[in-house]
Amino acid sequence: MYLPWNASRARVREAENARQNRAEILQAWSQGRLSRRDLMKLGLFTAAGTLVLKNGLSPFARSAYADDSSIPTGLPRSPLFGVQPFTQPMPRFDVLPRTPVSALSPAPTAQANTTQQVLNPALEGVRPGDTGPIEGRPPGPIWAHQEFTRFAPAIAIQATQEGAKVNTVYNPGVASAFNSGLDPTAQVRPTFHPSLPDQGPLALWTFNGTLPPKLMQVRYGEPVLFRHRNQLPFNVTQNGGFGRHTITIHEHNGHHGAENDGFTGAYFFPGQFYDYHYPVVLAGWRIINPTASDPRAGGPDDNGGIIKVPGDWHETMSSHWFHDHMFSFTSQNVYKGMAGMFNIYSALDRGNEALNDGVNLRLPSGTAKAWGNLEYDVNLMVADKAWDRDGQLSFDIFQTDGFLGDVMTVNLAYKPFFEVERRKYRFRILNGAVARFFKISLSDGSPMIYIANDGNLLPSPVVATQLDQQGIGERYDIVIDFSRYSVGQKVWMVNLLAHEDGTMPSGTLSLSEALSGSSSDPCVGKFLEFRIVRDPVTPDVSQVPAVMIPNPDVSNVPVARQRNFVFGDDGNQTTDDPVTSFRGPWGIGTNGGDKLDADFGRISAAPHQGTREIWTIQNDGGDWDHPIHIHFEEGRILARNGSASNVPAWERGRKDVYRLRPDGSVTVSIQFRDFAGMFMEHCHNTTHEDNAMLLRWEIDDSGAPFLQPLPTPIPKPQGVTFEPPTDILRSAF
Amino acid sequence: METRRSLLARGLFFLGVAKLGGLLGAITAAARAVPSVAIPFSGTVSGGPESVRVSGLVRITSTLVKTDARFNHPRRVILAFDLHDVSGRGLSSGTRYVARSRDEVMRPLVATDVVEIGFPLQPKVARGFTAARGGLASFRLSFDVNTGALTGGTATVGTPGS
């Protein structure tokens, strides 16, 4: 889709003109000056909500300068300003400070804090003198923090959402020697490379407004209050051409009440905060190990011991992430920088490789602290980006099949290097792209060991020389043993998967093909360089045990019912609520019904509290793939395409993102426990998600403490109101 | 979709065909209806701590990806490679090795394709996975360009990067 470097000037000019025309329309649309209906009337959008194939507008329209009628206009490449790959160190994530809850002002409350404040009239729909609540969480008992007393917050973490600025307080959590020599006292500019232009405050929106991306370190037995303050521009038009200033933060894939899940319709405005309460509990805590007697169910204390907690230790989780989930704007806001990672430490996964108590798995991490050592435990957020002629982040919403960038970044740094010792490292790899899948290999074909999938340690490790496709939002935790190399050697992570558009990967390259540079996809090939710089400072005492976390035993949990969800194109819309309803080219069919466009006011499924169900998720086409995320509780894949034998070893643990594959289906066993409220199921190709491939399901508690069905929140700066569901599918309850 | 014949029987069948036809791993017309085929492969993975002679069967499944004309996607197949009857022996020490691997790749549907797949080779001992090393299998595969079915194939084993 991106033009080759040697494209003629005429073709580059044609593609740039088309890109600018799209950017103008997008700006008008994102700022509310044009509606989708207006775009249809203008002949720029099809009835299905996609951009018309028009020369001078669509990158897929036939190029006027190509002899072959099948050659599209394409996209101009992102300028690199002479920057070479592997010339900057990869920054570690920036660890968010953990503070006492008493540091929060105002103090957190179970129900939303509705103290009034005078609103900024630059907010849409606000008149001078209007007031609204200081917290954007929907008010009242339904959206109160569930189990707020039982799991009272023990620590607080705060973040803002802001435009790009210099980071003066970067905390990588490790000494400079473990961060490729980065000077810990240096200011970190908001740029993808020191020799690239700084990102402007309207181009890049991140947590705290700074780079690198943020990391939360939490542990079982220590509930967290995560306060977000929205400090994005009040004026919706101040977005640099894309992105929406209203936000809702999803902790992917936290096990907590819906009020903390970042529901797509529970967004909050600039000038407001939102308190997310993360109990950090093991699923099943109400009935499994309720007295917290099992030492395998717990979190690390500060002295090398275990804080025992109730729940099923088989449900221990490790690598999460958090990101914006704004209805119809998730792809833009996540792409703009609103994504971070979330490491959970447990009795089993202590983040200390030396503690030998028969419970700790001693995975590569470090030894200096009782828990949460990061020296040999490295978060990697891999994402493709693109920027305009000025080097500012750019996005193209009209690629409704999926937006692709042409520049690879790791931890929001352009093709960096990372210094390692001759020993084992754990890498927590997050696919943080919008629509791009990856398939990762080492450049010399050496083995890697999968230890976790979607943040869940596997029953047993799986060794592989090339990882499986990794869909958007999926996490693979792997171990690489660099002791096989000599000091001074280099080895690279390589992407083997090519895309021609955002529907799905176009093909897998062999390692030699990917390294040859012959692919037309600029994101194929080397993207992260490992430099083996020294022998281990201290002996590597880490382990990769042959047994990690066996799957939970659900043999005594009957299956309450089965549901079927079909993900495909040509969704219909049966509602027209101006806030909750959206029309787009994608849709989801439930239990044999028509494929429907997203409406967060529609209830598509309502499992009963405390039950288990079997969900079959199906892809109805071969021209696309969908990584489907089911919020709230981890599921287990029972079958692919109807057969258990099709489930590969690295998918035989628990998961929360299920890649369907072309024409494929996945059958999942999933439980609904401990908390209630409204959650989501959607494609994590966030372009698909934003273009109507999302549904709401909610846990029906049969009348108490939640009424059924739940009213839908309608956020406004003056306060959240509620309305009845726009639609309830007959098969939902 | 699995054939009812055992993997071993299929392997012997293919080996027999190879001997008769002079083409290792050739697949007969009768096998074209079978989307899952087994191809024998062998070769040496070089490098430290010792070179390893590897042989066994690889089961390959080819699935034609359905396409809709409006997407203008080229015709593609998903190839699933399943190495589970592959073993090796160290040429110096006699140590036994095993290779268990599964991988899927998507390739354009063409009459003949050369596909390389890496695989881990590990000593056949407890926790052998911690001492795994990389091998490389190179396949020359023939397809029915109408159905996407595999019609023939050969395989060799080598060392990544060599």
What domains can you pick out in chain A, each with its CATH number?
1-77 (no CATH), 559-728 (2.60.40.420)
Q: How far apart are CA A607 and CA A631, in angstroms?
A: 13
Q: Quick check: A254 and A215 in contact, CB under 8 A?
A: no
Per-residue b or e along A606-629, where b marks 16 or more CB atoms closer than 10 Å to that residue's CB: bbebbbbbbbbbbbbbbbbbbbbb
Determine which of A25-29, A663-667, B137-141 has the lowest per-residue pLDDT on average: A25-29
Residue A680 has pLDDT above 60, yes or no: yes
Mean of the pLDDT values across residues A334-362?
Answer: 98
Residue A80 has pLDDT above 70, yes or no: yes
Residue with tokens 């006492």: A100
Mean of the pLDDT values across residues B113-126?
Answer: 95
A687 residue type, one letter: T
Q: Which of B117, B132, B160 sits opposite A463 (nearest CB)?
A: B132
* φ/ψ of residue A720, rounded to 5: -85, 130
Which pLDDT band holds residue A700 (cuts at 50, 70, 90)?
Answer: confident
Which pLDDT band holds residue A61 (cuts at 50, 70, 90)?
Answer: low
**Confidence at residue B12, expressed as pLDDT on a 0 to 100 scale:** 38
B-chain CB neighbours of A426 within 8 Å are none
Q: Is residue B1 in a domain?
A: no
- Residue A630's Cα: distance from chain center in Å? 12
Q: How many domains does chain B have?
A: 1
Q: Do A461 and B118 touch (CB under 8 A)?
A: no
Looking at mean pLDDT, say which of A6-10, A262-266, A401-405 comes out highest: A262-266
Residue A456's SS3 state is strand
A594 residue type, one letter: D
Determine which of A299-308, A473-482, B121-130 has the lowest per-residue pLDDT on average: B121-130
Shortest Cα distance from B133 to chain A (angstroms)?
Answer: 6
Determine which of A68-72, A194-198, A619-623 has the lowest per-residue pLDDT on average: A68-72
Q: Which of A445, A462, A481 sits opposite B118 (nearest CB)?
A: A445
Which pLDDT band holds residue B11 (cuts at 50, 70, 90)?
Answer: very low
Residue B25 has pLDDT above 90, yes or no: no
Token pair belonging to A386 = 């693109």
Q: Give the Cβ contact number of residue A195 at 10 Å.
A: 14
Of all residues in chain A, the one with the smallest CA distance to B65 is A622
Shortest Cα distance from B122 to chain A (angstroms)?
Answer: 9
Shortest Cα distance from B1 to chain A (angstroms)?
Answer: 9
Mean of the pLDDT values across residues A517-531?
Answer: 96
A365 or A12: which carries more pLDDT confidence?
Answer: A365
Residue B69 has pLDDT above 90, yes or no: no
Q: Where are the beta strands (DSSP E) in A432-584?
A: 440-442, 448-453, 456-464, 475-481, 490-495, 497-499, 505-508, 525-534, 559-569
Question: B2, B67, B71: best mutation site toward chain A, by most A Cβ within 10 Å?
Answer: B71
A490-495 β-sheet, strand order: A417-421, A525-534, A490-495, A440-442
Q: Which residues of chain B approach chain A closer than 8 Å at the C-beta?
A: 65-68, 71-74, 76, 78, 101-108, 115-120, 122, 126-127, 129-130, 132-136, 160-161
Shortest Cα distance from A501 to chain B (angstroms)?
Answer: 9
**Confidence at residue B27, expressed as pLDDT on a 0 to 100 scale:** 35
**Confidence at residue B17, expressed as pLDDT on a 0 to 100 scale:** 34
Residue A706 has pLDDT above 70, yes or no: no
Shortest Cα distance from B34 to chain A (angstroms)?
Answer: 17
Residue B22 has pLDDT above 60, yes or no: no
Residue with tokens 């109101």: A721
Shortest Cα distance from A331 to chain B (angstroms)?
Answer: 22
Q: Quick check: B142 and B123 in contact, CB under 8 A?
A: no
**Confidence at residue A619, expressed as pLDDT on a 0 to 100 scale:** 97
Shortest Cα distance from A496 to chain B (angstroms)?
Answer: 10
Q: How far apart are CA A128 and CA A261, in angstroms?
A: 33
Residue A65 has pLDDT above 80, yes or no: no
Q: Do B68 and A622 touch (CB under 8 A)?
A: yes
A560-615 per-position pLDDT tens digit: 999 999 999 989 999 999 999 999 899 999 999 999 999 999 999 999 999 999 99
Residue B31 has pLDDT above 50, yes or no: no
What's the mean per-residue pLDDT of chain B? Answer: 81
Of all residues in chain A, the one with the smallest CA distance to B162 is A444
What's the mean per-residue pLDDT of chain A? Answer: 94
Q: Is residue B124 in a domain?
A: yes
Shortest Cα distance from B58 to chain A (angstroms)?
Answer: 16
Token pair belonging to A667 = 């059958």
Q: Where are the beta strands (DSSP E) in A29-165?
A: 94-95, 116-118, 131-133, 155-163
Mean of the pLDDT values across residues A465-484?
Answer: 98
Q: Is residue B17 in a domain?
A: yes
Question: B7, B81, B105, B156: best mutation site toward chain A, by most A Cβ within 10 Å?
Answer: B105
Q: How far apart are CA B123 and CA A176, in angstroms?
A: 37
Classify residue A170 by its DSSP letter. Answer: -
**Confidence at residue A49, expressed as pLDDT on a 0 to 100 scale:** 62
Q: Do B104 and A621 touch (CB under 8 A)?
A: no
A-chain CB neighbours of B76 within 8 Å are 506-507
**Confidence at residue A75, expressed as pLDDT on a 0 to 100 scale:** 76
**Confidence at residue A12, expressed as pLDDT on a 0 to 100 scale:** 78
**Confidence at residue A8, expressed as pLDDT on a 0 to 100 scale:** 79
Instruction: Kindly write down the DSSP assignment for every residue of A317-380, as one continuous string.
Output: --EEEEEE--TTTHHHHHHTT-EEEEEEE-SSS-S-SS--SSS----SS-SSSSS---TTEEEE
**Confidence at residue B19, expressed as pLDDT on a 0 to 100 scale:** 35
Q: Is residue B2 in a domain?
A: no
> Is residue A55 classed exposed, middle or buried when 0-12, 13-18 and 19+ CB atoms within 10 A define those classes?
middle
B-chain CB neighbours of A510 within 8 Å are 115-117
**Confidence at residue A396, expressed as pLDDT on a 0 to 100 scale:** 86
Of all residues in chain B, the one with the smallest CA distance to A498 is B106
Mean of the pLDDT values across residues A334-343?
Answer: 98
Percent of chain B with pLDDT over 70: 78
Q: Which of A505, A506, A510 sits opposite B116 (nearest CB)?
A: A510
Which pLDDT band holds residue B30 (cuts at 50, 70, 90)?
Answer: very low
Mean of the pLDDT values across residues B50-61?
Answer: 95
Q: Do A662 and B78 touch (CB under 8 A)?
A: yes
Q: Which of B71, B115, B136 sits opposite A623 (nearest CB)?
A: B71
Name every residue whose Cβ is closer than 8 Å to that of residue A496 and which is 6 or more positions away in sequence: A439, A440, A441, A466, A508, A509, A510, A511, A514, A524
**Confidence at residue A259, expressed as pLDDT on a 0 to 100 scale:** 96
**Confidence at residue A407, expressed as pLDDT on a 0 to 100 scale:** 96
The interface predicted TM-score of the complex, written ipTM, equals 0.90
Q: How far apart are CA A334 and CA A339, in angstroms?
A: 6
Residue with tokens 């090796």: B88
Mean of the pLDDT values across residues A463-492?
Answer: 98
Of all residues in chain A, the one with the smallest CA distance to B106 is A507
Pairing, β A224-230 against β A155-163: parallel
**Confidence at residue B9, expressed as pLDDT on a 0 to 100 scale:** 40
Residue by residue, what is the 3-state secondary structure of A116-133?
Answer: EEECCCCCCCCCCCCEEE
Of all residues in chain B, the one with the smallest CA distance to A543 is B130
Q: Quick check: B37 and B31 in contact, CB under 8 A?
A: yes
Q: How far apart are CA B161 and CA B45, in angstroms?
A: 11
A-chain CB neighbours of B72 within 8 Å are 70
Q: Shortest CA distance to A550 belongs to which of A443, A449, A457? A: A457
Q: Do B67 and A648 touch (CB under 8 A)?
A: no
Residue with tokens 């990917």: A514
Radius of gyration of chain A from its Cα atoms, rounded to whole angstroms: 24
A613-624 per-position pLDDT tens digit: 999 999 999 999
Which pLDDT band holds residue B2 (cuts at 50, 70, 90)?
Answer: very low
Which pLDDT band holds residue A214 (cuts at 50, 70, 90)?
Answer: very high
> Is residue A582 classed exposed, middle or buried when 0-12, 13-18 and 19+ CB atoms within 10 A define those classes?
buried
A-chain CB neighbours of B162 within 8 Å are none
Determine which of A174-188, A569-583, A633-647, B17-31 has the lowest per-residue pLDDT on average: B17-31
* φ/ψ of residue B11, rounded to 5: -60, -45
Residue A335 has pLDDT above 70, yes or no: yes
User: What's the domain range around B131?
Assistant: 7-158
Q: Is residue B113 in a domain?
A: yes
Give me the count of residues in chain A: 733
Q: How far apart are CA A351 and CA A353, in angstroms?
A: 6
Q: Shortest CA distance to A321 belongs to which of A271, A379, A389, A364? A: A379
Mean of the pLDDT values across residues A162-186?
Answer: 97
Which pLDDT band holds residue A399 (cuts at 50, 70, 90)?
Answer: confident
**Confidence at residue A47, expressed as pLDDT on a 0 to 100 scale:** 63
Of all residues in chain B, the one with the smallest CA distance to A401 is B71
- Residue A86's Cα: distance from chain center in Å? 25
Residue A18's SS3 state is helix
Residue A554 has pLDDT above 70, yes or no: yes
Helix (H) or strand (E) run with residue A512 in it: helix A511-516
Token pair belonging to A700 = 């029906």
**Confidence at residue B20, expressed as pLDDT on a 0 to 100 scale:** 32
Taken in order B79, B80, B86, B91, the sign of the CA dihedral is positive
Q: How far apart are CA A215 and CA A323, in angstroms?
A: 12
From residue B49, give the alpha-carbon distance in Å to each of A484, A642, B52, B91, B128. Answer: 10, 42, 9, 10, 14
Mean of the pLDDT values across residues B31-39?
Answer: 63
Torsion of CA A415, A419, A422, A428, to 10 degrees: -60
A319-324 β-sheet, strand order: A94-95, A214-219, A339-345, A319-324, A249-252
Q: Is residue B142 in a domain?
A: yes
B-chain CB neighbours of A505 within 8 Å are 106
B-chain CB neighbours of A449 within 8 Å are 129-130, 132
**Confidence at residue B161, expressed as pLDDT on a 0 to 100 scale:** 81
Question: B59, B79, B82, B129: best mutation site toward chain A, by most A Cβ within 10 Å?
Answer: B129
**Confidence at residue A238, expressed as pLDDT on a 0 to 100 scale:** 95
Q: Do A508 and B106 touch (CB under 8 A)?
A: yes
Radius of gyration of chain B from its Cα atoms, rounded to whole angstroms: 17
Q: Quick check: B36 and B3 in contact, CB under 8 A?
A: yes
**Confidence at residue B21, expressed as pLDDT on a 0 to 100 scale:** 33
Structure pTM? 0.93
Mean of the pLDDT values across residues A180-198?
Answer: 97
Percent of chain A with pLDDT over 70: 94
Residue A280's SS3 state is coil
Q: Is residue B58 in a domain?
A: yes
Q: How far apart are CA A239 and CA A237, in angstroms?
A: 6
Q: Do B108 and A70 touch (CB under 8 A)?
A: no
